Each structure stands twice: as structure tokens, then as C-alpha cells.
Homo-oligomer: A and B are copies of this chain.
């Protein structure tokens, strides 16, 4: 089964928790054992598994990436002025594949699924969730 999650982002750089949407879709699918693939459509966005106790780790992710990949110094900036956003997306990666175990998404207690926006705000960002059953 497949579902496209749409979301609007309000920040230039920010992490958006989509865990409950993916968990709900896995439940709806009825799959007991298998895989849930989560894919960010957009070359300035990514998917990251991360803690969500509070916003601290999410803020730290944005801070870290800004330090490692500063804005305004890339060849691509002459074109779109968002070279840093593409590089952040490439390093974090567009996809994560999470097991479905006993009918539930196999995240650990502190793992949540985040859509990472690196060139917002954007309306209509898309994440494709695909659940495959192991038959």
C-alpha cells in the first residue's frame, strides 16, 4: 500500500515530525511483517530518524548542518542561491526504510521520523510512504 503525505513547511530549515502519519498508515495497511519505506520528494529535503523528546535535537540538527554546510559559498548559488539546501539533502538522504514488526512500525522508544526542510517555507511538500508485506 502506498500513501502520499503532503505538508507545508514554515521555516527555511526545520525538522517536521511525521511519525504519527506513518504509524497510522502502517496500521491501516494491516501488514504484520514487512517494510515501510519513507521517501522525501524534493532535492532540498530529506528524511531523518531522530529523537523527539523536545525540540533540542531538531535544533541541533539545523545548527550542525549550518556549520558543516554554510550558505552562499557554492557554485550552485549562482543559479538558485540554495546550494547549501541541496548539499544538506544529499548528505542526510531522501529515504529511510523501517521494518514493520508484529503489525507495528519497528521504531525504538526514542525514534521518530522527521521530514527535513532545507529550503522552506514550502507548500505541498510530498513524502511517499510505501508498505510492503513479507509474504
Interfacial chain B residues near A76, Cβ < 8 Å: 51, 56-57, 60
A8 interface hit (Cβ, 8 Å): no
Asked if A91 is an interface residue, CB under 8 A from chain B, the answer is yes
Assess whether A94 is in contact with B75, with CB atoms less than 8 Å apart. no
29 sample A-B contacts, Cβ–Cβ < 8 Å, listed by A number = A2-B134, A34-B130, A35-B35, A35-B37, A37-B97, A39-B99, A39-B106, A41-B107, A42-B111, A43-B108, A43-B112, A49-B90, A49-B93, A53-B79, A54-B79, A56-B76, A56-B78, A57-B76, A57-B86, A60-B74, A60-B83, A60-B87, A64-B69, A91-B92, A92-B93, A93-B93, A101-B128, A132-B132, A133-B134
CA distance A21 to B111 in the complex (A): 24
Chain A residues with a Cβ under 8 A of chain B:
1-2, 4, 33-35, 37, 39, 41-43, 48-51, 53-54, 56-57, 59-61, 63-64, 68-69, 74-76, 78-79, 83, 86-87, 89-99, 101, 106-108, 110-112, 126, 128, 130-135
Complex: A79 Cα to B112 Cα, angstroms: 18
Is A60 a contact partner of B33 (Cβ separation < 8 A)? no
